[in-house]
Amino acid sequence: MRLNLRVDLLKGESLASFLCRLAAVNGVRLQAFCSHLGISSRSLIDGDVLAIAKVATLAAVDPRALMEEAVIKVETGFKLRGELLQRSSLHRQELFVCPACLQEDASVGSATYIRTLWQVEHLRACPIHDIELSDLGTPRNPSVSDDVLARIEPHLAELKLLTAAAPRALPSTFELYVRNRLGTRRQAHPFLDELELHAAARFSEMLGATALYGLWPALQQFTVAARRAAADEGFGIASLGTDAIRAFLGKLQTDRTGSGGGPQAVFGSLYNWVARGAPHPAFDPIRDVFREHIVETMPVAAGEVVLGRKVERRIVHSVRSMHRETGLHPKRLRKILEASARSETARSNGPNILIEADRGAELMTPFVDALSLKEAATYLGSDRVHTRLLLTAGFIQSLSATGGRMAFARSDLDAFLSTLREGADTLSPDDPHAASLPLAAKRANCSAMEIVKLVIEGRLARRGSFPGASGYLALLVDFTEVRSLVRGAPLEDLPRRRVIKELKTTSTVVDALIKHRMLLTESRINPSNRCPVEVVPRKALDAFRQTYGTLFEIAAENGCHHLRMKATLESRGIQPALPRETFHASFYRRADLQP
């Protein structure tokens, strides 16, 4: 059976609007119309399939078209055009309209009707006229809330005034996204598209409110313009995916000026909303992003509950959390972490310093049972003097960032002692050449650290230890073997006594030659006693002897007596190049002797 008086379903018309017009054309109100048909008006408004199919048959309308415009009540909320919504995302009692659209309906002589999308709370403006939707209020009697045409009748005469009074509303990328999801056009926004529409919309608004108005925005006082701006801002972040969302959360952490505090102190009302204000399971993917970010960037311990789930493993440590876990003083920990931040994996989070938990444990382990200089000396079986020498020579190292105090890791000292003890069983304490490191250093004219270096390099074949003793001072070495290894090669250059011998002269003459820089000297290390010694380079002495000669040398080279040679030189007018008055001997320039 079909009704004789019918109306067409207009483009984008809500189911309630169509039913009201169908009832009106048959001369009754919606409630009476449904009663005549034996159908509950509420079941129609809630999208009951059988009830809508019956009306579609009576009105000769495609039932699929009616279902497309129906807000269908489902177990988890409501569904519109395939998208899941919650009660808070819909105007079920309230009536919002675009007065300009209604005015145009009347001006062209067509039916005045309500658009389906005006029921969506997240769509607050008309994209055709760029004005905010007008709120026509909530009926005193909820039973007549579905009779939308009766509700707009008192306002038809003032549509022009309502249009003029409506605030301008610029196009919104967020509202375009919502309209596209409720239509046939889709854009690729991976994270938001995976959320139910009401969750994606509400998250965009909350995210944008924090971005624009701070950690604690007064949401209840927001105007429509403020809400639209917040939604647009939040959509601009969330539409780029989880990386952009986490980057925004990271910026909130960086911008925080205070130290300490948990997620609520850092993220403000946004965290409160995620934790308590959005209990619906549709918001779980958002909680997952927050939880992952919090666990990876904040010092959350294993076993703590974050947004409803227990944390399996700590990812990050802070100064405070490491203090609680290790017992080390916070100031000392900060120095350690600051040193690590300059070199590798630690990172700054506002005033805090964070480090990956595994790396933090690796860094802190040596410090937890670290030894002072005095304790290290005892542990090594040494004394403070030799322990400092070992430190200076680099055989042991003080832990960095210890607040000005030297501290030594037991593991490092154990490794050093193990190297010293390795192979220390080839020298008997009764051997006459056996000596401790300090004594061997004296007898070999070297430093104890040179002997330690020989031990570490494995160059000493004979080593032992005192019976019943261990450690650094218990080590025995063969001082003759040490002496043979530390003694340097014989000097090619000549010390003063050898210069005297080669020139066959006196110390007074050699001293004068050195003083007046006729012979240049250099400093060398004596290979026997390891002390500095002044020497005349062999090349310098050879060059001097090729240039100059004494009267006795020249006489011997010419096979005559030195007095006769002197008389001959005087007869030729040749005088000493280096006067006797200055050098205490007569030196002639050999070039002057050429005939």
Residue 329 dihedral angles phi and psi, to the nearest 5°: -65, 140
Residue 342 dihedral angles phi and psi, to the nearest 5°: -75, -20
Buried b or exposed e, range 412-447, using 16+ CB within 10 angstroms:
bbeebbeebbeebeebeeeeebbbbbeebbeebbbe
Could you give the CA distance from residue 106 to residue 157 in angstroms, rounded to a whole number? 11
Q: Which two tokens stand for residue 61?
A: 């309308």
Please, are residues 367 and 325 in contact by the beta-carbon 8 Å criterion?
Answer: no
Q: Which two tokens stand for residue 477?
A: 């070495």
Name the residue among 576, 459, 448, 460 with its Cα closest to residue 518.
Answer: 576
Contacts for 392 with CB less than 8 Å, ≥ 6 apart: 449
Please, are residues 503 and 510 in contact by the beta-carbon 8 Å criterion?
Answer: yes
**pLDDT averaged over consecutive 10-residue blocks of the chain (595 residues)?**
86 92 90 87 88 91 92 92 93 93 84 93 95 91 80 91 94 93 81 94 96 92 94 96 94 74 89 92 95 88 89 78 66 66 48 65 67 89 92 86 69 90 84 92 90 91 86 92 83 87 90 92 80 88 91 89 89 89 90 82
Which pLDDT score is estimated for 30?
A: 87
Could you give the CA distance from residue 241 to residue 271 in angstroms, rounded to a whole number? 18
Query: Domain locations in the chain?
Result: 15-165, 173-314, 317-368, 380-486, 494-593
Buried b or exposed e, range 224-260, using 16+ CB within 10 angstroms:
eebbbbbbbbbbbbbbbebeebbebbeebbeebeeee
- Quote the pTM value: 0.66
Helix, strand, or coil (residue 324): helix
Which pLDDT score is estimated for 77?
A: 92
Which pLDDT score is estimated for 254?
A: 85
Could you give the CA distance from residue 241 to residue 346 in angstroms, rounded to a whole number? 26
Instruction: Specify which residues 132 forms β-bridges with.
Output: 125
Q: Which two tokens stand for residue 465?
A: 């230890």
The amino acid present at 224, given as its one-letter code, is V
Instruction: Specify which residues 72 forms β-bridges with.
Output: 79
Please report how the helices 357-368 and 330-343 are oriented relative to each other, as an axis angle in degrees rounded to 10: 130
Q: For 530-574, how does the pLDDT look when each residue is reduced to its tens digit (9 = 90+)?
A: 778 899 999 999 999 999 998 888 888 889 998 898 898 888 888
Instruction: Specify which residues 349 forms β-bridges with.
Output: 352
Which pLDDT score is estimated for 115?
A: 95
Residue 379 dihedral angles phi and psi, to the nearest 5°: -65, -35
Name the residue among 192, 234, 197, 196 with its Cα closest to residue 213.
Answer: 234
Could you give the CA distance from residue 472 to residue 384 in angstroms, rounded to a whole number? 12
Which pLDDT score is estimated for 531?
A: 78
Sequence length of the chain is 595
